[in-house]
Amino acid sequence: MKSRQDLNVPVYLDYNATTPVAPEVVAVMTPYWRDRFYNPSATYPEAMTVRMAVEAARSDLATLLGTTSGALVFTGGGTESDNWALRAGLAYWQGERRRILISAVEHPAVAKTAQALRAVGAEVVTIPVNEQGVIRLDALDAVLNNQVALVSVMCANNEIGTIQPIAQVARRAHAVGALVHTDAAQAVGKIPLDVQSLDVDLLTVAGHKLYAPKGIGALFIRPGLDFPPLLTGGGQESGARSGTENTPSVVGLGMAARLAQTWLAQEGPTRQAQLRDGLENRLLAALPDCHIFGREGPRLPNTLALAVPGWPGAKLLSACPTLRAGTGSACHHPEDAGAPTLRAMGVIPDLARGLIRISLGRETTQADIETAAEALIRAAQSLNT
**What is the per-residue pLDDT across 63-75, written as a single tens digit (0 to 9) for each?**
999 999 999 999 9
Per-residue pLDDT reduced to its tens digit, 131-170? 999 999 999 999 999 999 999 999 999 999 999 999 999 9
CA angle 331, 336, 338 (to 5 degrees): 85
Q: How much is the average pLDDT of 27-35?
A: 97
Cα gap 155→127, rounded to integer Å: 15
pLDDT at position 189 over 90? yes
Per-residue pLDDT reduced to its tens digit, 341-359? 999 999 999 899 999 999 9
Give the residue range(s) of CATH 3.90.1150.10 domains in the chain: 11-21+267-383
Cα gap 160→358, rounded to integer Å: 9
298 pLDDT band, cuts 50/70/90, is: very high
277 phi, psi to nearest 5 deg:
-65, -35
Query: What contacts 303, CB < 8 A, 6 or more positions away?
Result: 16, 160, 161, 276, 357, 358, 359, 360
pTM of the model: 0.94
Q: How much is the average pLDDT of 370-385?
A: 89
Per-residue pLDDT reduced to its tens digit, 234-284? 999 999 999 999 999 999 999 999 999 999 999 999 999 999 999 999 999
Q: Among 76, 30, 71, 77, which Cα is nearest to 53's?
A: 30
Cα gap 22→31, rounded to integer Å: 16
DSSP three-state, residue 25: helix
pLDDT at position 4 over 70? no
Per-residue pLDDT reduced to its tens digit, 114-130? 999 999 999 999 999 99
Helix (H) or strand (E) run with residue 95 in it: none
Task: Report the pLDDT value the prediction gives residue 330, as an integer from 0 to 100.
Answer: 38
Give the residue range(s) of CATH 3.40.640.10 domains in the chain: 23-264
The CATH number of domain 23-264 is 3.40.50.300: no
Task: Report the pLDDT value the prediction gives residue 7, as an integer from 0 to 100.
Answer: 52
Helix intervals (H) in 102-241: 108-116, 137-143, 166-175, 195-198
Cα gap 221→200, rounded to integer Å: 9
pLDDT at position 337 over 80? no
Cα gap 61→254, rounded to integer Å: 6
Q: Write the single-letter amino acid at 1.
A: M
Show which residues are catalytic. Answer: 331
Average pLDDT, the chain: 94
Helix (H) or strand (E) run with residue 33 in it: none
For the chain, the straight-line distance linking the first and the last C-alpha, in angstroms and rounded, comes to 30
Task: Report the pLDDT value the prediction gives residue 253, as an integer from 0 to 100.
Answer: 98
Helix intervals (H) in 73-154: 78-91, 108-116, 137-143
pLDDT at position 333 over 60? no
Q: Among 172, 107, 116, which Cα is nearest to 139's?
A: 172
Write the class of the CATH domain 11-21+267-383.
Answer: alpha beta
Strand partners, 203: 182, 220
Return the higher-pLDDT residue of 214 and 328.
Answer: 214
5 phi, psi to nearest 5 deg:
-65, -40
Cα gap 378→31, rounded to integer Å: 47
**Are the C-beta atoms of 345 and 132 separated by less than 8 Å?**
yes
